[in-house]
Amino acid sequence: MIIKPPSNKVIPGAIDGRQWEVAQVDGDMNGRCDLKRAVMEIPRGDSATARLVRLHELCHAKITPRKNPALVAESAGCSHNAIQWAEDCRVSYAIRLCDSCDDALSADELKEVFKQVPAGDLRTLASFYLAHFFLPVVREGILTAAVDSGRFTMADRESVNATVARLLDDSFGPFLRNGSRRSMIAKPTGFMKITVPLAQAFDMEYPPRPENPTPEQREEMETQKRVQRVTAQKGWGKLKGVEVMAMPNRIRPKRAIGRRFYDVGVVPSAVHRMTIDNQIFSTKVKVKGGTILCDASGSMHYKLSDFKRIISEAPAATIAFYAGRAGKGGIVIAARNGMAADPQHVMRHIRETLGGGNEVDAPALRWLIKQPGPHYWVSDEEVGARGMAFGKHKAGWNECNAICLAARVMRAENITELKMK
């Protein structure tokens, strides 16, 4: 038996017939592939990690379409980084079908990676975990090193593991269940069917962090971290998406949007007050708003008068309903920006398309806390899904309650009792 020595040279031109510029760089974890310009950087070492990186970049040349990821991200409404991480995940899946890379990314290498990660940065941990999820030994090593580094807790580990597994089941599950595993290697069609939806879902679970966050944004990021640490129960239905209903009813607020006037400022906006009280500078008064998530299961009932009361008190409020059946559900937005749909039409639409059950209580709440606050939840809290205990003080209710406590969600048993802040 002849054993061939390992090679650290790659020939991407053999894949697509183009003239590639290939450069070898230091560092076993350094690699880059510019598909448009046919430029590839690969590590010159011969360790298991270096071989994994070379195989990863070659797989990009094989299955990743020559699209500008920044333009794809802009059209998809997600971040550029999320597109890259999701595509890395799809590439890792293809690598798992081609070769074994279990010896790559040793504990020492992973510890060096996590030394550069801010403590509690779940988005970074989840992105690294997502990109290597289909390499089982590497995946486990990532979570272990994350905790051992002292940057993350066991709760962070469990949260990231459960969330990423759920996202991947939503994205890759149909392909795996339909037996089309090889199609993701043979054709690049999986980019639009898998990578883009996965990137969108990832950004919803782990929103991008602003470069110079305001105090309000910092508080929101801390809220997101607290909710991400709430363990997701198994059995919830799949949240299929968010639909916006037609809103023909314009509802006037109780009073016009106001302004406060001052005698100091920068740009005068009320010169006519100079002879009255000299308060020629003004700022807009913040309009009450927020997001209201309403349980639309069979036990709940809503009227147009409820919509009118809320929108007249809080003109910027968004009212959304959720329901589900048979392991899936969805969210319907029925009012926002002073406009509202007909409640009877909304309920009829929900019954016909989503069903009259719960199924997605916790996933819908996780969607709620990513919307503009303050946050409200209208429900009798008799929550649950197929395959789990139903009702208050059960496992599903405990998760919903923990989300509400972590995000300071205000609750009401019916929309009539709802008090807007």
Contacts of 207 (CB under 8 A, 6+ apart): 123, 221, 224, 370
| The pLDDT value given to residue 183 | 45
| The pLDDT value given to residue 29 | 86
| The pLDDT value given to residue 36 | 86
**Angle, vertex CA 287, rays to CA 283 and CA 293, nearest 5:** 155
What is d(CA 314, CA 288) in angstroms, rounded to the nearest whole number?
A: 5
Encoded tokens for 304? 């147009």
What is d(CA 277, CA 288) in angstroms, rounded to the nearest whole number?
A: 28
Answer yes or no: pTM beyond 0.85: no
What is d(CA 89, CA 167) in angstroms, rounded to the nearest whole number?
A: 12
- CA-to-CA dists, residue 41 to 15, 24, 32, 67, angstroms: 16, 6, 5, 19
**Parts of the chain with a pLDDT under 50:** 1, 179-188, 256
What is d(CA 198, CA 126) in angstroms, rounded to the nearest whole number?
A: 13
Residue ranges of the chain assigned to CATH 3.40.50: 230-253+288-417
Contact between 354 and 324 under an 8 Å Cβ cutoff? The reply is yes
Q: How far apart are the first and last CA of the chain?
A: 77
Of the candidates 52, 57, 49, the one whose C-alpha atom is nearest the C-alpha of residue 23 is: 57
| The pLDDT value given to residue 188 | 44
- CA-to-CA dists, residue 316 to 51, 251, 420, angstroms: 54, 11, 11
Q: Look over the chain and give the mean of its residue pLDDT values, rounded to a whole number.
A: 81
Kindly report the number of other CB atoms within 10 A of residue 390's CB atom: 14
Question: Cα-flanking dihedrals φ and ψ of residue 41, to 5°?
Answer: -115, 130
The domain 230-253+288-417 is classified under which CATH number: 3.30.2390, 3.40.50, 3.30.70, 3.40.1350?
3.40.50
| The pLDDT value given to residue 83 | 92
| The pLDDT value given to residue 260 | 65
| The pLDDT value given to residue 398 | 92
- Write the pLDDT tens digit of every residue in 326-350: 888 889 888 887 788 888 888 888 8
